[in-house]
Structure 1
Amino acid sequence: MRLLFSADGSSGDLIPMVLMAREFKQAGYDVCVCGSTEFEGMAVDFDVPYEAYPHSYSDIYLDNQKTGYIHNIRENIRHRERLFKGEFELLSKIAPDYDVLFNFLGEILVPSFAEAFNMANVKLFTFPVIPSERYGPPMGLPFVTENKWVNRLEWAAAVFSAKYLFSYNKTIDRMRGELGLAPSRNLLAENAQCDHMMIGLYEELVPPCPSWSSIDYSYIGPCIPSQPAELSDSLEQFLSQGSAPVYIGFGSMRHQNSDMLTRTLVEAARSAGVRTVLAQAGSTIGAEVEGSDDVYVLREYPIPHHKLFPRCLAAVHHGSWITTHLAARAGVPQLVLPQASDQYMWGEIIYKKELGPKWVDMNNLSQRKLRTALERLVAREAFTRHASEFAERVAGIDGAKNAVESFERVKSKLRR
């Protein structure tokens, strides 16, 4: 059986597909992963075949990010049509050669290829693009609730906007027509229709919603790295020469004024009396900072979070699903500084589960707010205790291995 994995997004969207593909390959399946051109090296590192979409996700989306609600919502809409073009170009050629299409919920055109070529459609849920009473749509606004009536209204508004206000619904219908498919009636609802959905998250953080009763799903847990890795000698030296630091990093997020943000972060951390590891990753924070006894700028990439986080006092991050789960698995308290998309949801989850203090909005950040939140993060013993207890409860959950077991249970029911 030939399996095609698609994750046309950031490195955090791609890594679970790569890890799953590796496990399926070891189990004897013929696999291939599709993603942005810039991430091909990730597939090479894990020894899985890779077909690149003819675009760079950073060029299309990440490099255009900056703080501001309207800007981020607009860019989130604009970049999708450019992704659709590359997805259509590649998948219309190679998808017919495969039996099963794995894709993550943020890819709203990709399932059309499973429909067109009679492939089994398996969804990976790491991103909340499924109508739900418990979780609202990832609009990138600082408003998160579990009120089912509010969330129903938000999803209805999202469906209406996708169909009548945003051009990408028309683009998808045009491409579906070229594939011989009928137009979409309800783009977001149909995106959740699949042969099986694997929820690649900790169930304790994201419990199921009653409105999912019509979906065939299973919790597999997060697909996150655990392979052997070493920290650099200079980082090891920094860690050994003082108290455990607070990790501060924002993954692939970009910021309008990185120098000002860097000063805010460093000064707030010093005011709170904590040492920091400031991770550049895909951003430009810390570019002008020289190392010191209390600040280490981590410029290496990729970052072995699974090795670094257990050595840290806490983690401050943007609220991606993968960083949230890496910190949760490491048993360290977290402070989320959300900026866009589903990051506000993760900030609220961490706060409600008492794994860290109330999130601080990156779009309205000040040194005073950040210093106060950092002080709460490191001073409240309950956060550390809850984080440690949570890590014990989820220890041993391997999403990639569980994905193979889940697929083996359901594959006899899949089409083709």
Structure 2
Amino acid sequence: MKIGLQTWGSHGDIRPFVALAQGLHAAGHEVTLVVTCVDSDRYAALQGTVPYALEVVASPVVPDRAALERWGAAIVAERNVSRQTRLVIEQLLLPAEAAMYRASERLCADNELVIGHYILHTLAIAAEKQGRPCVSVALAHGAVPSAFQPPLGVPNWGAFCNRLAWRLARWVLNRDFKWVADRLRAQQGLPPAGDVVDTVWASPALTLLAVSPTLCEPRPDWPANYQVTGPLDTPDSVAEGAVPESLEAFLSAGAPPVYLTLGSMMSGNDEARTVTLLVDAARAADVRAVVQAPSGAPAGFANSEQLHFVSAAPHAQVFPRCGAVLHHGGAGTSQAALRAGVPSVVLAHTAEQELWGRELQRLGVAAAPIARRRATVDRVAEALRQATRSDAMRQAAQALSARLAGEDGVATAVRLIEARFSPQAQQVVAAA
């Protein structure tokens, strides 16, 4: 098949689509991937180096570092989940909407099937207008309604309360977000969408949940279009490069360090202040540390026997050599730490990241997540001490690593896509 993929967001939103594009290409399909990165143009360097067509559109969405820090601070300060999400969409998605929609139109015109990020209405609208089948890929499971799980930010008080909470959540989501899709739909001559979860974000044909089944067992009341694949990832470096020689030397020079990374959220923080927090916590916990920051070692910081600074590093190669990983609770980093078999400390900036932190806590590989706005040196240091000194956490992490080693999310996703959309599958449906 000719298959077009489109994604938007941070590195954690793009890496899974790179992995899926590679898997679909390896399975014999002709693949085009369009990416829009919020805070970087790093993916332009991959063009011409991958075996499929790669197009980079409107990247970075926010080229000004100071603006990113302002919006990052506003997102962290906002405690209401819906308003937090609205800030993300209005400031980080809508400025690139027109360019992304033009790319969506091209993908739908040139391909038999399109696959898009869950929070990306442009591709679903273009696919509907041109009559193309469309698959949605969700990188977390917190937005899928179920009596067996509450909406993000709501306590789990049982099935009856969860149903009521989801009725209210759907009303709020439609009130706050359906207008985004409906405005573009009207411009394209399409009627208003139905429920935002069921018809804007999820695909009624097939919605892939790129989450480990170890973390996310399918809920009994999920419709059949929701399918858990396992994480979409690749052991290969994706724009991170190889392990630098200086980092290799640091890893080999002493006890396993902790790896301190806030991923894309570092772009939305005051870098010097955040690095100071992480460094002071590592020193208070008396652990060696690798600190990942956009500029490597910010002004006033330098490599030492206890600290090593990097701008990027391939997590699959580095995490297994660490004693623990402090991260923001992104879907990709959370599952990378699990696969590496090391405990986590989660410094959550958003409600979805807190969900991942709670999941890791439930599995026994992390203490309770720390909200970024409440993070102090003492709190982070104590969490680092727990993660590096707890035999129970380490043993749980190693046991889960063995379970995740048997999962192949990309292969599962390719199989599900082919089973639903291949010419052979379509012939079977037509015959029936």
TM-score (norm 2): 0.86
Q: Identify the residue that residue 288 of structure 2 maps to in structure 1.
A: 275
Tell me the CA shift for residue 210 of structure 1. 2.6
Q: Secondary structure at the match of 2:227?
A: strand
Q: Identify the residue that residue 9 of structure 1 maps to in structure 2.
A: 9
Matches within 5 A, 1:131-146: 131-138=145-152, 145=156
Q: Secondary structure at the match of 1:292?
A: coil
Runs of at least 5 residues in structure 1 that lack an aligned partner in the other structure: none
Q: Identify the residue that residue 55 of structure 2 maps to in structure 1.
A: 51
Tell me the CA shift for residue 144 of structure 1. 5.4
The AA in structure 2 aligned to 1:132 is S
Which residue, out of 189, 193, 198, partners 1:189? 198
The answer to whether the 8 Å contact 2:7/2:116 transfers is yes
Which residue, out of 68, 72, 75, partners 1:65? 72
The answer to whether the 8 Å contact 1:205/1:349 transfers is yes
Q: Secondary structure at the match of 1:325?
A: helix
Distance change in 2, residues 1:133/1:280 (3 Å): farther
Distance, in Å, in 1 between the alignment partners of 2:337 and 2:47 is 24
Distance, in Å, in 1 between the alignment partners of 2:145 and 2:44 is 32
Distance, in Å, in 1 between the alignment partners of 2:59 and 2:47 is 16
Q: Identify the residue that residue 18 of structure 2 maps to in structure 1.
A: 18
The answer to whether the 8 Å contact 1:105/1:130 transfers is no
The AA in structure 1 aligned to 2:219 is C
Distance change in 2, residues 1:99/1:203 (3 Å): same
Q: Does 2:144 match 1:130?
A: yes
Distance, in Å, in 2 between the alignment partners of 1:389 and 1:202 is 14
Distance, in Å, in 2 between the alignment partners of 1:264 and 1:194 is 44
The answer to whether the 8 Å contact 2:30/2:52 transfers is no
Matches within 5 A, 1:15-414: 15-36=15-36, 38=41, 39-42=43-46, 44-59=48-63, 62-63=68-69, 64-66=71-73, 67-69=76-78, 72-73=84-85, 75-79=87-91, 80-128=93-141, 129-138=143-152, 145=156, 147-164=158-175, 166=176, 168-190=177-199, 191-212=201-222, 214-227=223-236, 230-253=242-265, 254-281=267-294, 286-299=298-311, 301=312, 303-411=313-421, 412-413=424-425
Distance change in 2, residues 1:123/1:11 (3 Å): same
Aligned residues: 407
Distance change in 2, residues 1:348/1:42 (3 Å): farther
Structural RMSD (CA): 2.7
Distance, in Å, in 1 between the alignment partners of 2:160 and 2:57 is 39
The answer to whether the 8 Å contact 1:333/1:383 transfers is yes
Q: Secondary structure at the match of 2:3?
A: strand
Distance, in Å, in 2 between the alignment partners of 1:211 and 1:62 is 39
Tell me the CA shift for residue 163 of structure 1. 3.6
Q: Secondary structure at the match of 1:194?
A: coil
The AA in structure 2 aligned to 1:161 is V
TM-score (norm 1): 0.89
The answer to whether the 8 Å contact 2:104/2:122 transfers is no
Distance, in Å, in 1 between the alignment partners of 2:12 and 2:197 is 22
Q: Secondary structure at the match of 1:8?
A: strand
The answer to whether the 8 Å contact 2:140/2:210 transfers is no
Distance, in Å, in 2 between the alignment partners of 1:57 and 1:234 is 32
Tell me the CA shift for residue 220 of structure 1. 2.3
**Please, which moves more after superposition, 81-90 or 340-349?**
81-90
The AA in structure 1 aligned to 2:181 is I
Runs of at least 5 residues in structure 2 that lack an aligned partner in the other structure: none
Q: Secondary structure at the match of 1:329?
A: helix
